Amino acid sequence: MEQAEFLEKHVFAGLENLNDGFDESGNHYFSQEHFEKVLEQAEYFGIGIYKITPFYNGEAYGVAEHESFKKKATDPKWYNKAFLTFTHRQEGLLYAATYKVSGKLLARYSADKNEEEEV
């Protein structure tokens, strides 16, 4: 299983991608409500978030990176704090992020998928 497939199935499932073609098709943009769910799923699975970029009226509205918070990308403290800061500054933002799903997690879900296919 590849990272994009994992994210689609386990993190973005049921959430509306608001990228209607204004950016590369692989980039997902979410409302505040849906991005909060993305962060919950990232924390649950231990997915790294390297950068969060909010957008307002089609323009980047700042950026937050884990390095600025002196935290690992998998530490939910940094991305939850960054998200909270953005939500207090401006309503109606769209959120995009860069993610890293560990090879170990991908392998585990690939193994689970292979077992299901054998049954």
Local confidence pLDDT in tens for the 119 residues of the chain? 799 999 999 999 999 999 877 777 678 999 999 999 999 999 999 999 999 999 998 889 999 999 999 999 999 999 999 999 999 999 999 999 999 999 999 999 887 665 555 54
Structural domain boundaries, residue 46: 3-108
Question: Is the residue at 101 inside a domain?
Answer: yes
Angle in degrees, CA 87, 90, 95, rounded to 5: 60
- DSSP string for residues in the chain: --HHHHIIIIISTT-----SSSS-TT---B-HHHHHHHHHHHHHHT-EEEEEEEEETTEE---EEGGGGT--TT-HHHHHHHHHHHHHH-SS-EEEEEEE--HHHHHHHHHHHHHHHH-
Question: How many domains does one find in the chain?
Answer: 1
**CATH code (residue 14):** 3.30.190
The whole-number pLDDT of residue 92 equals: 94
Q: How far is CA 39 from the centre of its chain?
A: 6
Residue 44 in domain: yes
Q: Please state, in angstroms and rounded to a whole number, the distance separating the CA atoms of residues 117 and 16.
A: 29
* Amino acid 119: pLDDT: 45
* Structural domain includes residue 16: yes
Give me the pLDDT at residue 90, please: 95
pTM: 0.89
